[in-house]
Structure 1
Amino acid sequence: MSVQSTESLQKMYESLAEKDKRHFMHPTTSLKQQQQQGPGLIFTEGKGIYLKDIRGEEYIDSLSSLWNVNIGHGRKELGEAAMAQMQKLAFSSTFATNSHEPVIELAEKVAQMAPGDLTMTFFTSGGSEANDTAFKTVRYYWQLKGQPEKKKIISRKKSYHGVAVGATSATGLPAFRSFPSLAPDFYYVDSTIESLKEMIEREGAETIAAFISEPVQGSGGVNPPPENYFQQVRDICDEHNILFIADEVITGFGRTGKTFGMEHFGVTPDVMCMAKGITSGYAPLGGMVISEKLRDELIDLSDGAYMHGYTYSGHPMCCAVALKNLEIIEQEGLVENVRRMGEEIEKGFHWLQERHEGIGNIRGIGLLRAFEIFEDKESKKRYEDPVSPKVAEEAMKRNMVGRSIIYEGQDTIALAPPFCITKEEVEKVITILDECLTAVKRNGNLSS
């Protein structure tokens, strides 16, 4: 690249950066940092597991952006599906019994893929809306059943369920709940059966509408459940007449090596929420899927309208993109590749553990993986100043976008690359992490 072209790209970056500071309010970002430093990377294109920024630099996207670009970047088929649908029918409302072909076909496809008797979908624009829809629907269900006092929602600490008012209130990470304001009737338990039982006994099952959980906690640290946890949760919910909601926003559509995360645990929830992977991030779409039992009771008990709906519930273009995305996942055997490459990442993490003292708590499933950094691995003592952000910073210097998680005192590095990642690319990611850990140690941030 010539000096002139480099200067030209830099000027383009600076022009966009100034506009960004003035006009774009970033999500989950320090407003002060945005104004002082401007945007970090400004991405312009992507291919497979790679992203390219406006300066022409290529980066490995090791977290599928926001756990969502499952089939990888740059799939023209999805753009073609979007264009074809927009040229045919860009939008039509699905309110008041109106419908269209893509939403009907997608609803049937989801029913075919979902576990058990989860067969009816309400579509949203994303995961937060899907979870809010679930909370309103389960409360509506108990109201129709003549039990309006059953309105409390129990979630797990370290859970993440979104940032709409209800979704934020269900999120078990205090950092998100400190942002005003919260909805009432949300409660949090540790990831133990004893904690759930104690909560039900204290609050009274007659006041509890539902329990919600991710199969594997994502933003809270990539935390798999304790052994037999969800089987016991299912039994407890059945015993106490409490609905069970599975938040499959991150884990759904293959991320764990099965179509849905709960399939690993042999459990079918009453309600399942989804988003991200249904379109691989190529279009904003989410949804709530309910069981046939719940569907039939809602139909039998209700006389008036189901007074809940978003303008873009079942957007035709988004549904068309989702159908093409799910077709690609199936035709290219990407869920099987998730299983294989997940095993390769786990091997890589154990190799890193042999080379770097302090790496422990290696965990995850499929292409949802993490490890933690300890000052003393035996006692689980963590560094007073977290190390994982420094590792992520070093990764950026080596052109890899990584994820550090330090919520609730953790010091975690997470990986969730696109499903199309190859063994050679996994090895490249592990090599970069090795270099990062070595650099952090050299800088005096890790014990020798």
Structure 2
Amino acid sequence: MRQETRRCLELDRAHCWHPFTPQDDWCSTDFEPIAIARGQGVWLFDTENRRYFDGNSSIWTNIHGHAHPHITAAIQRQAETICHSSFLGYTHPLAAELAEKLTRLLPGQPMERVFFSDNGSTAIEVALKMALQYRQQTGEPERNGFIAFVNGYHGDTLGAASIGGVSRFFDRFRGPGHPLHQISSIEDLHQLPEEIVRSTAGLVIEPLIQGVNQMRPWPPGTLAELRRWSTANGIHLILDEVMTGFGRTGKMFACQHENVVPDFLCLAKGLTGGYLPLAATLTTQEIYDAFRGPAENAFYYGHSYTANPLGCAAALASLEVFESEKTLEMLQPKLATFSSRLEALGNQSPQIKEIRQVGLIAGIELHSHPTRSGKSVCQLAMKHGLSTRPILDTIVIMPPLCTTESELDFVFEALQSSLNESGH
């Protein structure tokens, strides 16, 4: 083990606290964490210079690959100018330009206003608070609750957690959060009591596919029906496209598959190509106008790093790469390859219970077994140069959009080898 690796692990175990991680397992002497030192394209390299395919896009963020020269250069140029200035009381050219470009990405009914924040959780917080304050300022203060879906995941800040549906993450935080009514399906929605409907400010969903719920797609037409129902009942539709945005599903946004424009569109992760923390909540001019007038109507919410210039530079560069490299156009044949390789994997691997896919997002669920688990298969995959994480016994495969077909071959060969070695 190199001295650099040894020092990193010693300091980490002494001082770091990792997310979603049982710390006794992490600090066990039987476990040796991987220390990532650099990235290039779809590959990660650890401090021992071992190479791994970035099979979940660094927790669903990376779009164009690591160290992309265009994005890297944009960040470097901006760093030489200014790294941060306040967006409270000031503006800057990159934020203004990025806001304009984001509002033009959804055709049809425009979403003309952009509120910047830091991450997916805060993008959701912004939408929830705007939806509530909008009702207070338009004569409907009784509309103070939300509808969300069982097993949904919308972030970990207190407001976002209160509408989450994954019990192991959120049950202990229910009390202080927003009033919530959870549903499982469109059928549940249509059976809601009228008093629930009348007291609801917004309906929140991860469009096309739930992420943390082991990558489970919605039935076709779900999103279009939610738009119809929410419009008919005067309820704001809030789309959490933190995971699905920026090409993951084969279109720029998942909602475009069903020609739906929401009242709030929440973006993060891939917004900067996966390079820097930045989030955006898009909404309509009608909602924005309700916050004009006297000072007490203002939206008193924000973060120190709102509209951070480095993040805006990365986001603009990422959108430029979408255009210059024709990312969405070049993605289409890869989606066909991805689907065929998933099908072949399922046919060859009796350990697999079900494969669920939307675009370049896949969840490979394993049959329950006393010694084989999603975690153990992912640990084997690391030995074959594939880095990813399971959700329970579902292995997540979400490669960067720039992945080549030969690199996809590598992914599925590593998966097949890992499944074979897991035995049983």
TM-score by length of 2: 0.94
Structure 2: segments with no counterpart, 5+ residues: none
1:85-112 superposed Cα distances (whole Å, 9 cap, x missing partner): 222232221213x211010000001011
Write the letter of the residue equivalent to 1:34: W
For residues 30 and 99 of structure 1, what CA distance do their matches in structure 2 show? 42
Write the letter of the residue equivalent to 2:23: L
1:360 and 1:373 in contact (8 A); partners too: yes
Structure 2 vs 1, CA of residues 155 and 193 (structure 1 numbering), >3 Å: closer, same or farther?
same
Residue 295 of structure 1 and its aligned partner are, at CA, apart by: 2.2
Match of 2:315 among 298, 313, 322: 322
For residues 313 and 243 of structure 1, what CA distance do their matches in structure 2 show? 24
Write the letter of the residue equivalent to 1:80: A
Tell me, what secondary structure is at the counterpart of 1:94? coil
2:250 and 2:331 in contact (8 A); partners too: yes
Q: Map of 1:202-281 to 2, 5 A cutoff?
A: 203-215=195-207, 216-281=209-274
For residues 395 and 28 of structure 2, what CA distance do their matches in structure 1 show? 27
Match of 1:377 in 2: none
Residue 180 of structure 1 and its aligned partner are, at CA, apart by: 4.3
Q: Map of 1:296-311 to 2, 5 A cutoff?
A: 296-299=289-292, 304-311=297-304
Structure 2 residue 282 is matched with structure 1 residue 289: yes
1:235-291 superposed Cα distances (whole Å, 9 cap, x missing partner): 111122111000010111111110101111121111000001111221110011002
Residue 49 of structure 1 and its aligned partner are, at CA, apart by: 0.9
Match of 1:197 in 2: 190
Structure 2 vs 1, CA of residues 302 and 258 (structure 1 numbering), >3 Å: closer, same or farther?
farther
Tell me, what secondary structure is at the counterpart of 2:165? coil
Structure 2 residue 21 is matched with structure 1 residue 29: yes
Match of 2:142 in 1: 149
Structure 2 vs 1, CA of residues 384 and 295 (structure 1 numbering), >3 Å: closer, same or farther?
farther
Write the letter of the residue equivalent to 2:418: C
Structure 2 residue 85 is matched with structure 1 residue 103: no
For residues 239 and 394 of structure 2, what CA distance do their matches in structure 1 show? 24
Structure 2 vs 1, CA of residues 356 and 347 (structure 1 numbering), >3 Å: closer, same or farther?
same
Tell me, what secondary structure is at the counterpart of 2:283? strand
Structure 2 residue 387 is matched with structure 1 residue 394: no
Match of 2:344 in 1: 351
For residues 386 and 170 of structure 1, what CA distance do their matches in structure 2 show? 33
Residue 209 of structure 1 and its aligned partner are, at CA, apart by: 0.8
Match of 1:425 among 407, 415, 419: 407
1:149 and 1:207 in contact (8 A); partners too: yes
Residue-pair matches, total: 421
Match of 2:46 among 53, 57, 60: 53
Structure 2 residue 420 is matched with structure 1 residue 434: no
Tell me, what secondary structure is at the counterpart of 2:168? helix
2:106 and 2:261 in contact (8 A); partners too: no
Match of 1:366 in 2: 359
Structure 1: segments with no counterpart, 5+ residues: 1-6, 375-381
State the percentage of identical aligned residues.
30
Aligned-residue Cα RMSD (Å) equals: 2.0
Match of 1:415 in 2: 397
Structure 2 vs 1, CA of residues 188 and 405 (structure 1 numbering), >3 Å: closer, same or farther?
farther
Write the letter of the residue equivalent to 2:388: G
2:147 and 2:183 in contact (8 A); partners too: no
1:155-182 superposed Cα distances (whole Å, 9 cap, x missing partner): 1122111111111112211111145465
Write the letter of the residue equivalent to 1:278: L
TM-score by length of 1: 0.89
Match of 1:20 in 2: 12
